[in-house]
Amino acid sequence: MIENTPWEHIIESIKEDKKSDILQQWLDQSEEHRKQYAEMVEVWQLTGSIPKRFKPNATAAWANIEKRTAPGNKRFTLNHWVSRAAVALILIASSIWLGTLINSPADEFAVVVAPKGQKTKIFLPDSSVVMLNGGSKLKYATDFNRDHRDVYLTGEGFFRVRKHSKKMFIVHTHALDVKVFGTVFNVKAYQGEPKVEVGLKSGSVRLDREGKQVTMLKPGELASYNRESHSMMIEKKNIDLICAWTHHQLVFDNNSFSEVVTMLERWYGVSIQLDDQLVGEHKFTFKVKTESLNELLEMMSVMAPISYSIDGKDIKITTMNN
């Protein structure tokens, strides 16, 4: 099967988003071919890397998973294993694609994904620890800690960085780079959201934009960078509240309805349709601990004139009049 794989056509398809007749014929041959192709496309989307060959190495990938990841949420046994399985699949795919296929070691990456509704803890090679919130991804080179300590974050992560005076630890996001030597901080940088937030719990961090220093943070400060206006705001905040999600608590502090919906989707792993009339209405301040989604929606219906319906993982919230 490996020998007959049309690699050139697969690579061209991934680059150009167009399938040749030869590739389509190969896909039509078996479900195994279709799964293999889908897996490679997924890893390409996550890492931006293209293979030259494909050779499974699941044993090595599982060993890497056991060493580098740990479940971040022990409330639900089933979800715990679902979370590990989801991360495992991504890491296996990354190991298959990158650990075996790319010629230059500098181009090899490990990718860890925390699906919506789950949290994942990562132990990096330098003994730093990262916890990913739902809907987040962390990417780092397999030679991490050799000459550098660079990671690439999409979403939200809580970092406890091991101190090393000669190796700066850098968190790259789509708008800012967070540079530290050893400290504890939270970074929120979801794709598609206008703001990137960095909250510092201890130590100090430097924020860079396009290679130039923007500011330095002190403990207890939250920096909010607006990608649309290119403006930076720094304010004193309770960082423990910002990091409450790492202790399985979701805190709302005067958040709009649309902000609440986005956070709930990541927290519970659901899709929520919000009535247009509610988008700019109401502000919410409350805390979620062990409440189920149904209990939470019932509580919100007391705070605001809304009604809701639940169909599996699809939620619809409307005004009371609708």
Q: How far is CA 160 from CA 106, 124, 171, 181, 239, in A?
A: 25, 10, 12, 11, 14
Residue 21: what pLDDT?
87
Assign 137 to helix, strand or coil: strand
The kind and range of the H/E element at 234 are strand 231-236
**What CA–CA distance (Å, rounded) separates 116 from 261?**
13
Cβ atoms of 223 and 233 closer than 8 Å: yes
The dihedral formed by the CA atoms of 274, 255, 71 and 92, expressed in degrees to the nearest 10 = 60
Residue 45: what pLDDT?
52
Residue type for position 208 = D
Q: Which position has the token pair 């990456």?
A: 109
Nearest to 111 by CA among 82, 81, 132, 80: 132
Average pLDDT over residues 227-244: 93
CB atoms under 10 Å from CB of 63, counted, come to 12
Residue 308 has pLDDT above 80, yes or no: yes
**What CA–CA distance (Å, rounded) separates 152 from 113?**
12
Q: What percent of the chain has pLDDT over 70?
A: 76
Residue 5: what pLDDT?
77
Q: How confident is the model at residue 322 (pLDDT cuts 50, 70, 90)?
A: low
Give residue-wise pLDDT tens across range 91-146.
434 433 332 333 334 458 888 989 888 899 999 989 999 999 999 999 998 888 88
Average pLDDT over residues 206-232: 93
Q: Which domains does the chain have, with CATH numbers?
A: 105-241 (2.60.120.1440), 249-319 (3.55.50.30)
Both tokens assigned to 143: 């030679």
Give residue-wise pLDDT tens across range 21-68.
898 888 888 888 887 777 676 655 544 555 444 444 445 545 555 555
**What CA–CA distance (Å, rounded) separates 150 from 205?**
14
**What CA–CA distance (Å, rounded) separates 283 from 193?**
19
pTM over 0.75: no
Average pLDDT over residues 171-177: 94
Q: Which position has the token pair 């030259």?
A: 52
